[in-house]
Amino acid sequence: MRKFNFCAGPAALPESVLLQAQQELLDWRGLGCSVMEISHRSPEFVEVAERAEQDLRDLLAIPDNYKVLFLHGGATAQFSAVPWNLFGAVGSREARVADYIHTGQWADKAIREAQRYGQVNVVASSEDRNFTYAPDPDSWQQSVDAAYFHYTPNETIGGVEFDYIPEVSCPLVADMSSNILSQPLPVEKFGVIYAGAQKNIGPSGIAVAIVRGDLLDRALPEIPRSLSWKVAADADSMDNTPPTFAWYLSGLVFQWLKAQGGVEAMAEQSRRKSALLYDYLDRSDFFSSPVAKGSRSRMNVPFVLADARLDKRFLQEAEAAGLLNLKGHRSVGGMRASLYNAVPLAAVEALVAFMADFEQRCA
């Protein structure tokens, strides 16, 4: 029996998508074999790839001057790809300086990787309050010659989400792994958007990058071929064999999103789901949220019990009640409920009801 899955990633997928994949697994489109068993260059799979790209373009209203890439390596590979692709020549000079905002572990990983290839200026950090808020732009110390400005709009581990888009003079780069497709997005404000798939797009094993066309010629000359956005763009993301099954499933998720009403509908759903849980946390004396109210994530909701000795019991009883994967990240402890697009409102209702009952019994 299906249970409610609050995993931070790989995360819940829409049940109808899983059922369709199950039905098509052995005989896809009457070919007598699986979509995993056909050439990525066959007309049948090229059609899958082209529809997936077009559906994503439709969902996010991606302008024509942006390339949509489906890539190996997840978002972590893009921590390297971003500096490799943007630290090259800009006009007559090489710009190996980049601005980064440090808001938690994923931002930290991106910063550490960029430091391998150039100079990183950390314009602001929320480490002073244990990464529980998004820094105010008034505090930033930006570079005058940055090749790009990078930030993580939603920190999956800490549950911090920016409620604004930075206004900067250089290309804005965003790791949207955990909040892409959860609301409308003005893509034209960004130079690059990238996202690992395993939260709101599809299964693990593939990443999406949305790159403004004029940035494809800024790569360092020694860039590894497998990380080059231009190589990927010129080959329609098929310079080598792509993760075809993950691409196919991602395309099914895009179709599901369209059928639900698109990102506008997802934004309303995420507002309702997160508000329901946060409202309960704010009323409770037994559970609490460590994140500043103005920076609370709609996607990832960390919370703690007043008595940490009850953590293990809470998790055991929650799992017995069909509420899975609520344990917080090992680096911060506590609990975390991830409310991605495929997590229904009913799941949050069930979670809040369980929490209220647990509080009544254990407080």
28, 108, 175, 230: the active-site residue: 175
Q: How many angstroms separate the CA atoms of 150 and 102, rounded? A: 9
Q: Is 199 a catalytic residue?
A: yes
CA-based torsion, 282, 288, 290, 296: positive or negative: negative
Specify whether 229 is catalytic.
Answer: no
CB 209 within 8 Å of CB 194: yes
The question of whether 28 is a catalytic residue gets the answer no
Contact (CB, 8 A) for 302 and 289: yes
Give the residues across from 122 on adjacent strands: 100
The residues with which 193 forms a beta bridge, in sequence order, are 174, 210
| CA–CA distance, 282 with 319 (Å, rounded to integer) | 24
The answer to whether residues 12 and 340 touch, using CB atoms and an 8 Å cutoff, is yes
Give the Cα separation of 163 and 142 in Å (integer): 20
Catalytic residue among 28, 84, 106, 247: 106
Q: How far apart (Å, rounded) are the C-alpha atoms in residues 242 and 221?
A: 24
Residue in 199, 230, 273, 327 annotated catalytic: 199
Active site residues: 106, 175, 199
